[in-house]
Amino acid sequence: MGAMGIGAWIAKLAFVGLLIAGTASGELRPKGIALFLALGVLVWFGLPYVPRGTNFVTPALALIDVALLLAVYKSDIRIT
């Protein structure tokens, strides 16, 4: 497993973790949960059926992760 594989796992785990965090904290309403879940499922399972779509699964899921992070925490998380 190379860097792309590790990045894909991080994007998938972050997506699931942020959905759980948003649900548990009450920051995401049911419509928001449904929206992000539908986008994630569409990217995760639907994009590989598009020609050359498998190349865009991880970047698309990472973009959804950024939007979900901003929706849950209302700002970016400081690393330092």
| DSSP class per residue in 19-78 | HHHHHHHT-S-HHHHHHHHHHHHIIIIIGGGSTTGGGGHHHHHHHHHHHHHHHHHSSPPP
Q: Rounded mean pLDDT of 49-75?
A: 85
- Within-domain flag for 55: yes
- Within-domain flag for 11: yes
- Within-domain flag for 27: yes
Q: How many domains does the chain have?
A: 1
Instruction: Reply yes or no on whether the pLDDT at 4 is more than 70.
Output: yes
- Within-domain flag for 69: yes
Expressed as residue numbers, the domain containing 49 is 3-73
In angstroms, how far is CA 19 from the centroid of its own chain? 8
Residue 76's pLDDT is what?
67
- Within-domain flag for 31: yes
Average pLDDT of the chain? Answer: 85
